[in-house]
Amino acid sequence: MMVPHLRTVVAVEVRKLRRSLAALLAVAAPAIIAVFMFFNVVKMRNAVPWSVWMNNMAGLWGAFMLPLSITALTALMAQMEHAPKSWDHLRALPVPRWMLYAAKLICTAVLVGAMTVILLALTLIAIEAAAWIKPAIRPGGTLRLALVATILLKMYGAALLMTAIQLWLAIRFTSFVPAISVGIAGAFFAIVSNAAWQGVFLPWQMPINMLASVAWRGEVALMLGMGGGAFASVAVVAHLSRREVL
């Protein structure tokens, strides 16, 4: 009976998301990168290889927009319950408490995954639109779409630990300030210390390590992001489920 109950809780969470800004954020964040890429391609005088544009897109996403998007998204997910003070009502429902938080985590992870897919699609559309306007600057070389998709997928996996941490902060504290502050600070240090090897162990910097020239950095960051994310997800759900007051 546990699985049907969880499916129902997730379905309710999805309905709430339709009335929130989370869906808008899931499109707006990738769209910002796509628009930026469009204008950068249009202003070029000569053609630039596809690999350069795809690397730029992935770099902007992994270093900056992905951490900030997860910070904003998790805050929105939590504020859907904090703002109307509905946690007491939810916890009184005849379903295991852990499912309430697991549903939040599942929906957040799915939305981040959707953002990744939207990013790739909108970026390709933006570059093609720019090339249509100025055929002379159409990217050269081969578009290695499978490789680009693999890198973005790895970034998504490496961001799971960050996602769990940010969601825990957003739900644990009624005010959105702690979660937003930590997310901004993490993104800041991820950018300014991009070349530091210690960044492999910083959850907010793990995604950008998928573009590291040194192979071990990407491998370690991915392992820590996915493994730590799985462990942190269980710990977050267990911790929040035991708390009587939020």
The residues, any chain, with a CB within 8 Å of residue 237's CB and separated by 6 or more, are 98, 101, 102, 105
> Looking at residue 1, what is its pLDDT?
44
> Looking at residue 225, what is its pLDDT?
96
The percent helix, strand, coil of the chain (3-state, each to 5) is 80, 0, 20
Distance CA(70)–CA(73), nearest Å, equals: 5
Measured N-to-C along each axis, helices 145-158 and 97-133 cross at an angle, to the nearest 10 degrees, of: 150
> Looking at residue 111, what is its pLDDT?
95
3-state secondary structure of 140: strand
Distance CA(139)–CA(131), nearest Å, equals: 8
pTM over 0.85: yes
The residues, any chain, with a CB within 8 Å of residue 82's CB and separated by 6 or more, are 174, 176, 246
Residue with tokens 């990217």: 139
pLDDT in tens, the chain (246 residues): 456 778 888 888 888 887 778 888 989 999 999 999 999 999 998 889 999 999 999 999 999 899 999 999 999 999 888 877 887 777 777 888 889 999 999 999 999 999 999 999 999 999 999 999 999 899 988 899 999 999 999 999 999 999 999 999 999 998 889 999 999 999 888 887 777 777 788 999 999 999 988 888 999 999 999 999 999 999 999 999 886 545
| Tens-place pLDDT, residues 101-131 | 999 999 999 999 999 999 999 999 999 999 9
Phi, psi of 139 (to 5 degrees): -55, 140
Domain boundaries of the chain, sorted by first residue:
2-242
Instruction: Specify the long-range contacts of residues 196-200, CB closer than 8 Å, at least 24 apart.
Output: 200/224
How far lies 86's CA from each of 40, 83, 92, 164, 206, in Å?
Answer: 45, 8, 10, 21, 34
> Looking at residue 244, what is its pLDDT?
55
**DSSP, res 214:** S
DSSP per residue over 114-135, as a string? HHHHHHHHHHHHHHHHHHHH-G
The residues, any chain, with a CB within 8 Å of residue 30's CB and separated by 6 or more, are 61, 65, 115, 116, 118, 119, 122, 123
CA nearest neighbour of 155 among 93, 70, 79:
70
